[in-house]
Chain A
Amino acid sequence: MNSVFVYCEIEEGQVAEVSMELLTKGRALATELEVKLEAIAIGYKLDGIEKDIFPYGVDVLHIADDKRLAPYTTLPHTSVVVKLFEEEKPQIALMGASSIGRDLGPRVSSALHSGLTADCTSLVIGNHEDKKLDKVYENLLYQIRAAFGGNIVATIINPDCRPQMATVREGVMKKEILDPKYKGKINKLDVSKYTSDMDFVVEMIERHMEKSKINIKGAGIIVAGGYGVGSKENFNLLFELAEVLGGEVGASRAAVDSGYVEHGRQIGQTGTTVRPKLYIACGISGQIQHRAGMEESAQIIAINTDPEAPINSIADYVITGDVAEIIPKMIKFYKANTK
Chain B
Amino acid sequence: MKGYKIIVLAKQVPDTRNVGKDAMKADGTVNRAALPAIFNPEDLNALEQALRIKDKFLGTTITVLTMGPGRAAEIIREGLFRGADDGILLTDRAFAGSDTLATSYAIAQTLKKYGNYDIIIAGRQAIDGDTAQVGPQVAEKLGIPQITYAEEIQSIENGKVTVKRRLERGVEVVKCPMPLVITVNGSAPDCRARNAKLIMKYKHAKTVTELQVANDDYIQLYNDRPYLNIKEWTVRDIEVDMNELGLNGSPTKVKKVDNVVLQSKGAKVITSSDEDINQLMSELIENHTIG
Q: Tell me whether A152 and B257 are in contact in the complex, defined as CB-CB below 8 angstroms, given that A107-B146, A317-B267, A317-B280 are known contacts.
A: yes
Q: Which of A143, A154, A333 contacts B282 (CB 8 A)?
A: A333
Q: Are B289 and A277 in contact (CB under 8 A)?
A: yes
Q: Shortest beta-carbon distance, A130 to chain B, in Å? A: 9
* Structural contact, A110 and B285, CB atoms closer than 8 A: no
B139 contacts A318, CB within 8 Å? Answer: no
Query: Given the interface contacts A113-B101, A115-B101, does A98 sit within 8 Å of B136 by beta carbon?
Result: no
Given A106-B133, A313-B262, does the pair A329, B272 have CB atoms closer than 8 Å? yes
Q: In the complex, what's the smallest C-beta–C-beta distance from A290 to chain B, in angstroms?
A: 12
Interchain CB contact under 8 A, B267 and A316: yes
Bound state CA distance, A201 and B173, in angstroms?
14
Inter-subunit contact B149/A99 (CB<8 Å): yes
B17 A202 Cβ-Cβ under 8 A: no
List residues 254-277 of chain A with CB under 8 A from any CB of chain B. Answer: 254, 257, 263, 269-270, 277
Say yes or no: A156-B253 contact (C-beta < 8 A), given A107-B139, A147-B129: yes
Chain B window 272-291, contacts with chain A (Cβ cutoff 8 Å), 1 for yes, 0 for no: 10101110111011000111
In the complex, what's the smallest C-beta–C-beta distance from B126 to chain A, in angstroms?
A: 11
B131 sits at the interface (CB 8 A): yes
Q: Assess whether B104 is in contact with A201, with CB atoms less than 8 Å apart.
A: no
A206 partner residues in chain B, CB cutoff 8 A: 171-173
B196 at the interface (CB under 8 A from A): no
Q: Distance in Å from the Cβ of B157 to the closest Cβ of chain A?
A: 12
User: Whole-angstrom distance between the alpha carbons of A330 and B289 in the complex?
Assistant: 14
Q: Which of the residues B16, B258, B263, B274 comes within 8 Å of A153, measured between beta carbons?
A: B258
Task: Tell me if B30 is interfacial: C-beta within 8 Å of chain A.
Answer: yes
**Does residue B93 face the partner (Cβ distance < 8 Å to A)?**
no
Knowing A99-B149, A107-B146, A206-B172, say if A288 contacts B260 (CB, 8 Å): yes
Which B residues are closer than 8 A to A by beta carbons? 14, 16-17, 19, 21, 29-30, 32, 99-101, 104, 127-137, 139-141, 145-149, 162, 167-177, 186-187, 250-260, 262-265, 267-272, 274, 276-278, 280-282, 284-285, 289-291
Q: 4 shortest A-B CB distances, which residue pairs?
A: A149-B16, A115-B251, A321-B272, A115-B252
Show the binding face of A for B, using Cβ within 8 Å: 71, 73-75, 78, 98-99, 102-103, 105-107, 109-111, 113-119, 128, 142-143, 146-161, 201-212, 221, 245-246, 254, 257, 263, 269-270, 277-278, 287-288, 298-299, 301-302, 308, 310, 312-322, 325-326, 329-330, 333-334, 336-338
